[in-house]
């Protein structure tokens, strides 16, 4: 029986959810309202869930990851989206699998709502199914499952062996324990024998923003970064370690009338896979630990780079960027999480632990960002965060 305290808590959470969604206005349909409503819905679920049941649910939740990853291996989601209704036998034949294992895996998939059960051994699709067969989604599933799951499993023993210290050495963390190496993850992924893993990682990095809007759609780029003088002989924007150039393309598409040169910098093998860039983008290889980016640019942009490293390595990278910046002209734009000191969104807290297990690194709070940039000799011009999960933009200068 539900207690009086639980009933009141559930009613309060339900009322907050109704309040978030009841107003019929443009502001009520904003991203901020969606986030608030989602938080209220989660609070309502938690108020009704017994701790014993909730813990069992979490204890068995890795099976959903296993089912999804296996279905990606077998191309199941791609098979399902080919038509409205597909039988387990059809999926098994096309996937080259046992029908029984298809039924068992899809029992979990449909229970979580990632596909639709339409009868005994019959399956349909929904928006989740379509999302699961997306190339970027499958890159994320492959990269995260194949690398983080072993590292997460190894983390408790690594902590015990290392006196429950915060990992800061990229050569000694849960990832290295899980994979029996003393090589940092990105160097390990770049080994020739890990080509498929490397490709999955770069595909994931193309889509790791999820459904969050690109920074160029909400940040006042024109006023904050492009209002002063622009040297048309120098690069307008250098995307440092920008992967296949997806963020650079969004900037160019958002500001097609802005004159300037664009440079994409990353490891040569990453640049070789960036095949859909316009002629305006110059590709230049860089090892940002040992080299400085192209000099004299108006904007140096780094997305999800510094969170991959503890402070010593992050300072090393920053000092190389600083050596390329022009005082009074250049800006460094950091696109990353800015964690609050209290009330941290769950996804941001989870992302922080992912950085811990894979990179021996961290997401940073505002005070930690300020300390890092102060140590590097950089001045913060502004911190900007739209409603959402805690990601934001930090603009710094010499």
Could you tell me where the DSSP H helices lie in 267-365?
268-271, 311-322, 346-359
Domain boundary (60, 86, 106) is at 60
Domain boundary (97, 132, 167) is at 132
Please give the pLDDT value at position 35: 66
Kindly state whether residues 236 and 357 are assigned to the same domain.
Answer: yes
What domain range includes position 46?
Answer: 4-60
Active site residue: 73, 147, 307, 316, which one?
Answer: 307
Kindly state whether residues 234 and 375 are assigned to the same domain.
Answer: yes
All residues at 6 or more sequence positions from 15 whose CB lies less than 8 Å from its CB, including other chains = none
| Encoded tokens for 363 | 């997401």
Please give the pLDDT value at position 343: 86
Q: Give the length of the chain.
A: 398
Kindly state whether residues 79 and 191 are assigned to the same domain.
Answer: no
Among this protein's residues, is 147 annotated catalytic? Answer: no
Kindly state whether residues 331 and 222 are assigned to the same domain.
Answer: yes
Looking at the structure of the chain, the number of domains it has is 4
Kindly state whether residues 75 and 144 are assigned to the same domain.
Answer: no
Strand partners, 123: 86, 117
Kindly state whether residues 187 and 222 are assigned to the same domain.
Answer: no
Kindly state whether residues 255 and 275 are assigned to the same domain.
Answer: yes
CATH code where residue 336 lies: 3.40.50.150
CATH code where residue 120 lies: 1.10.10.10
| Encoded tokens for 51 | 């701790």
Please state, in angstroms and rounded to a whole number, the distance separating the CA atoms of residues 244 and 264: 8
Report yes or no: 321 and 332 within 8 Å, Cβ to Cβ: yes
Please give the pLDDT value at position 15: 74
| DSSP letter for each residue of 324-352 | T--TTT-EEEEEEEEE-SSS--HHHHHHH
Kindly state whether residues 66 and 179 are assigned to the same domain.
Answer: no
Question: Smallest Cα–Cα separation from 361: which of 160, 164, 159, 172?
Answer: 172
Kindly state whether residues 185 and 312 are assigned to the same domain.
Answer: no
Q: Is 346 exposed, middle or buried (0-12, 13-18, 19+ CB in 10 A)?
A: exposed
Please state, in angstroms and rounded to a whole number, the distance separating the CA atoms of residues 14 and 109: 28
Please state, in angstroms and rounded to a whole number, the distance separating the CA atoms of residues 204 and 136: 6
Domain boundary (149, 177, 206) is at 206
Please state, in angstroms and rounded to a whole number, the distance separating the CA atoms of residues 290 and 82: 48
CA of residue 144 relative to chain centroid, distance = 10
Kindly state whether residues 8 and 69 are assigned to the same domain.
Answer: no
pLDDT along the chain (398 residues), means of 10: 68 70 59 68 71 80 94 96 96 97 97 95 96 91 94 97 96 97 94 91 75 82 87 89 88 86 90 83 90 93 94 95 94 94 88 95 95 95 81 94
Kindly state whether residues 162 and 271 are assigned to the same domain.
Answer: no
Kindly state whether residues 231 and 370 are assigned to the same domain.
Answer: yes
Please state, in angstroms and rounded to a whole number, the distance separating the CA atoms of residues 114 and 128: 5
């Amino acid at each position: 029986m539900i207690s009086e305290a639980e009933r009141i808590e559930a009613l309060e959470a339900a009322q907050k959810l109704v309040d978030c969604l009841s107003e019929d206005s443009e502001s009520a349909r904003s991203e901020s309202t969606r986030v608030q409503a989602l938080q209220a819905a989660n609070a309502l679920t938690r108020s009704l869930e017994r701790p014993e049941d909730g813990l069992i649910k979490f204890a068995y939740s890795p099976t959903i990851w296993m089912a999804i990853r296996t279905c990606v291996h077998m191309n199941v989601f791609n098979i399902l989206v080919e038509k409205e209704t597909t039988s387990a036998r059809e999926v098994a034949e096309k996937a080259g699998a046992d029908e029984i294992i298809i039924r068992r895996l899809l029992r979990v998939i449909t229970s979580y709502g990632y596909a639709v059960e339409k009868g005994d051994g019959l399956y349909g699709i929904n928006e989740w199914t379509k999302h699961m067969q997306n190339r970027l989604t499958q890159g994320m599933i492959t990269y995260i499952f194949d690398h983080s799951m072993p590292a997460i499993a190894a983390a408790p023993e690594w902590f015990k062996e290392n006196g429950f210290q915060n990992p800061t050495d990229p050569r000694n963390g849960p990832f290295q324990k899980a994979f029996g190496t003393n090589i940092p993850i990105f160097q390990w992924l770049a080994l020739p024998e890990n080509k498929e893993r490397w490709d999955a990682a770069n595909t994931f990095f193309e889509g790791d923003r999820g459904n969050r809007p690109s920074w160029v759609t909400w940040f006042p780029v024109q006023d904050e970064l492009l209002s002063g003088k622009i040297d048309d002989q120098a690069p307008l924007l250098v995307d440092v370690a920008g992967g296949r150039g997806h963020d650079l393309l969004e900037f160019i598409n958002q500001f097609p009338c802005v004159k300037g040169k664009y440079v994409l910098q990353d490891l040569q093998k990453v640049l070789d896979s960036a095949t859909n860039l316009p002629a305006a983008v110059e590709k230049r290889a860089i090892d940002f630990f040992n080299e400085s980016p192209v000099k004299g640019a108006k904007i140096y942009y780094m997305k999800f780079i510094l969170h991959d490293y503890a402070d010593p390595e992050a300072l090393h990278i920053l000092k190389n960027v600083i050596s390329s910046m022009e005082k009074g002209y250049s800006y460094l734009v950091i696109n990353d999480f800015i964690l609050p000191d209290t009330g941290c969104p769950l996804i941001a807290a989870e992302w922080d632990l992912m950085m811990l297990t894979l990179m021996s690194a961290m997401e940073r709070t505002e005070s930690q960002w300020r300390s890092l940039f102060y140590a590097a000799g950089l001045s913060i011009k502004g911190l900007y965060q739209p409603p959402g999960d805690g990601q934001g933009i930090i603009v710094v200068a010499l």
